[in-house]
Copies of this chain bind each other. A is one copy, B any other.
Amino acid sequence: MLRLYDYFDSGNGYKVRLALAQLAIPYRLIEVDIDKGETRTPEFLAMNPNGRIPLLALENGVHLAESNAILCHLAEGTMLMPGEALARAQILQWLFFEQYSHEPNIATCRYWLRHGLMSPGRAPAFAQKRLAGYAALSVMEKHLATRDFFVGAYSIADIALYAYTHVAAQGDFDLAGFPSVTAWLARVRMQSGYVPMGASMTP
Would you call A139 an interface residue if the criterion is a C-beta within 8 Å of the partner chain's C-beta atoms?
Answer: yes
Q: List the B residue with the shortest CB-CB distance to A52.
A: B101
A187–chain B nearest beta-carbon distance, Å: 20
- Residue from the set A67, A92, A103, A139 with the largest chain B CB neighbour count within 10 Å: A92
Known pairs A49-B142, A104-B104; A85 contacts B73 (CB<8 A): yes
Q: Contact between A100 and B89 (Cβ–Cβ < 8 Å)? A: no
Q: List the B residue with the shortest CB-CB distance to A91.
A: B69
Number of interface residues of A (CB under 8 A): 37
Q: A103 to chain B: which residues have CB within 8 Å?
A: 100
Q: Contact between B49 and A69 (Cβ–Cβ < 8 Å)? A: no
Question: Which of A19-27, A58-66, A170-178 lies on the face that meets chain B?
Answer: A58-66
How many subunits of this chain does the assembly comprise?
A: 2
- Choose among B67, B70, B96 the residue that contacts A99 (Cβ–Cβ < 8 A): B96
Would you call A97 an interface residue if the criterion is a C-beta within 8 Å of the partner chain's C-beta atoms?
Answer: yes
- Residue from the set A67, A70, A73 with the largest chain B CB neighbour count within 10 Å: A73
* Complex interface residues of chain A between 84 and 106 (CB less than 8 A to chain B): 85-86, 88-90, 92-93, 95-97, 99-101, 103-104
Q: Contact between A92 and B104 (Cβ–Cβ < 8 Å)? A: no
What are 30 contact pairs spanning A and B, CB under 8 A?
A: A49-B138, A49-B139, A49-B142, A50-B97, A50-B139, A60-B86, A62-B90, A64-B89, A65-B93, A65-B97, A66-B92, A66-B93, A66-B100, A67-B96, A68-B96, A69-B92, A69-B93, A69-B95, A69-B96, A70-B89, A72-B88, A73-B85, A73-B88, A73-B92, A76-B85, A76-B88, A96-B99, A100-B103, A121-B124, A125-B125
